[in-house]
Structure 1
């Protein structure tokens, strides 16, 4: 074969890919953001700017602008951007806007973490906020979650990796242990909370409320609100875990009755969610936002809690 022809054939093979599998054999990854960009550290100035979105969100609630509420929220807070926001257009009171100030920002290291941070506002009352970066846009994922008691525990602000061999594993199990406690009134599981803890109060409500609404029949279901693991390390070897759950109540008239004798939700809620003042039966779902402390020894206590009615249906 002439030398010039051989060189030409080699060149054509290099361009056409001779001896290389085609696109049907090898998947070519789509271009995306570099790992360096996705792991970019959250700076304090950026966190402060994201925290200022609370004012915009307060205005959106005041104006009943549900599209804006949806745009500014994620995860647990986004559950309020649907039916609950629409209910305010039917006369249900909107959340009262509070000007939270003196925030302290806990900014996790970027390595191996998604972009998020926790803020603890000191005024007018201590409350936690969780912000997450969703496709380059900061949104409020949870908050405010008012602190129980006088003040919040001191924290190092360091993120707890979920695969940490010690406290990380305990932190990851906190939501499930909380759920186990609330669905185990006999205490067989061994999960416990201190006397007077918000978890103990909720368990007592779940246990006693059906008797209080008789002759109506009331059943309940508690489930986790699935979401990302977010935890901050405490100096004593423990962690603060931000998580959420849902409580669903189903209320039906007692035998021989066609209407509820003691509805567990008031007229404002009924009118806002359903458009009516009365209902033959109710199904309501409440979102409970929580900040739970787990010690190095695995003991649990509720640090902050907030509860909202997010859906209510009749019939």
Structure 2
């Protein structure tokens, strides 16, 4: 079957958007090579204080305090706190949030105003967090991103932007996810290990249109523009934090006035739109990813989380 026809049948289309470490309360690990004169590392105590904003953020979600969520977040988490927070005021349950502790901080040297760090919390389950300084205070950019399998511990330093090897592969990692998820025929050559989260997401995109018949479903996959970050791994390679945006458009089949198999439940639909039924809906999901890039441009998903950011009817 021609690839163009196969892509249309699957309903997939693409819009290309295209150091030191420390443990909370413990002694910092041995620092890497001295940073450039213009670079400055986040101090362990500063990172520990920034990590504490998670308690304030959890309280804001419990209280449906959308302005506080807006203030405490940026990038992906800010997107997930907009319409999604408003929906909790309309009856949608607030996200269940765990209290994360036993954090280890990976503190790369940064240049100028670009200050950021990654935290790996061990309890209650391992999860990554990305914090970015917004000019006046720290904000959560991504997290929690639950670990699948064993967590990877960076060597501490950020991947140099001008690195001709690891730097290039780290920058290409998000685009390779995009290529993989929008290539049903598999001609691109991008692959992931068995049981990888990327494979599961691909299977979901392929199978969902079949499962909702006679409804019609099409999906766009694109990169979420923002502060993608990469840290060096011991022995080579990189750990990359990035995100995808997936838009699902579901419409009722011919002759029908409402969806037969809506991909989102009535409670979710009512929270976002005030309606329990619809002839069509458009949902936007954010997929947060932590990816290991190893020798030979091999990719594997270390951590992943998918959340609904917006839902409209029509």
- Range class of TM-score, shorter chain: 0.7 to 0.9
Write the deviation string for residues 255-286 of structure 1: whole angstroms up to 9, x where unpaired. Answer: 12111110000011111100111111110000
Q: Which moved more, 1:58-67 or 1:228-237?
A: 228-237
Q: Which residue of 2 aligns with 1:48?
A: 48
> Which structure 1 residue ranges, 5 or more long, are not aligned?
1-35
Q: Which residue of 2 aligns with 1:76?
A: 76
| Greater strand fraction, Structure 1 or Structure 2 | 2
Q: Which residue of 2 aligns with 1:263?
A: 262
Q: Which residue of 2 aligns with 1:8?
A: none
Query: Superposition pairs for residues 1-315 of structure 1, below 5 Å?
Result: 39-111=39-111, 114-149=114-149, 151-315=150-314
Alignment length (residue pairs): 279
Computed over aligned residues only, the root mean square deviation of the Cα atoms, in angstroms, reads 1.5
Alpha-carbon separation, structure 1, partners of 2:228 and 2:310: 25
Alpha-carbon separation, structure 2, partners of 1:248 and 1:37: 44
Asked if 1 retains the 8 angstrom alpha-carbon contact of 2:113 and 2:135, the reply is no
> Which structure 2 residue ranges, 5 or more long, are not aligned?
1-35
Question: In structure 2, the residue corresponding to 1:142 is in which secondary structure?
Answer: strand
TM-score (norm 2): 0.86
Asked if 2 retains the 8 angstrom alpha-carbon contact of 1:77 and 1:142, the reply is yes
Describe the shift of the 1:154–1:122 C-alpha distance in structure 2 as closer, same or farther (beyond 3 A).
same
Deviation at 1:39, TM superposition (A): 4.6
TM-score (norm 1): 0.86
Alpha-carbon separation, structure 1, partners of 2:215 and 2:96: 32
Write the deviation string for residues 82-141 of structure 1: whole angstroms up to 9, x where unpaired. Answer: 100000001111112311000000000134682000000000000000000001310000
Larger relative contact order, structure 1 or 2 (CA cutoff 8 Å, min sep 6): 2
Structure 1 stretches of 4+ moved >3 Å: 36-40
Question: Is the radius of gyration larger for structure 1 or structure 2?
Answer: 1
Alpha-carbon separation, structure 1, partners of 2:38 and 2:134: 11
